[in-house]
A and B are shown apart, each in its own frame.
Chain A
């Protein structure tokens, strides 16, 4: 059983296009995240949603818009893609319970290449 899944795994597209990445978790978690791993391999938080509400929005261009239809899903829509958007995007959800409240579980990543 896949705990956190993302689609697609690979995405190659042209500059200027609009694309979406989907994320689903079957862990029953309330909090979900989007991270970006850039060419320097840093994993940086982009957004955090708790129970369908946006709670963290780091300095991310407003071309990126997360959408949470329910607490098991957090999708990422990107408008007017730019070359610098090429990266690996990871979705994650947060564990609950004492001692696990900060543990996050990651999806396999979506490798986005903008040409």
Chain B
């Protein structure tokens, strides 16, 4: 039973345009959400996070939106750059010392 779902295995975007990566979750106990970026042969790198008390968090070109009623979050990258090409993992956790639950990832390709 997947508690965190990334339904798009891949996404292709032109350089300079907006990339939108989506994530859905089922566990209403989740209150902290993160996005990780992963290059081949490297570990996941923390990108941006959002607490359930917020609906938006912005960090430079990266913005995460959270819609709690829909149990949906999205990562916006604008403008997209070729160096953004990687696999992006959505992750969620509940309060306390609970492990992260990851989605399956979305491979983003930014075409120059």
Which residues of chain A have a CB within 8 Å of any CB of chain B? 4, 31, 33, 40-45, 48, 50, 55-56, 58, 90, 92, 99, 102-109, 111
Contact = CB atoms under 8 A, between A and B. Distances in A.
B42 to A, nearest CB: 6
Contacts, number: 52
Contacts of B93: 102
B97 A42 contact: no
> Main secondary structure on chain A at its contact with chain B?
strand
Given A33-B99, A45-B100, A56-B97, 7 more contacts: A40-B104, A41-B104, A41-B105, A103-B49, A108-B42, A109-B43, A111-B41
B26 interface: no
B105 A104 contact: no
15 contacts: A4-B43, A41-B87, A41-B105, A42-B102, A43-B89, A45-B100, A48-B97, A58-B99, A92-B43, A103-B46, A103-B49, A106-B36, A106-B43, A107-B43, A109-B43
Interface residues on B, range: 20 to 34
A108 B39 CA distance: 10
A102 B32 CA distance: 7
Nearest to B93: A102
Interface string B60-71: 000000000000
> Main secondary structure on chain B at its contact with chain A?
strand
Q: Which of A4, A42, A90 has the most CB of B within 10 A?
A: A42
B57 to A, nearest CB: 10
A42 B46 contact: no
Nearest to B87: A41
B44 interface: yes
A44 B46 CA distance: 17
A55 B97 contact: yes
B106 to A, nearest CB: 11
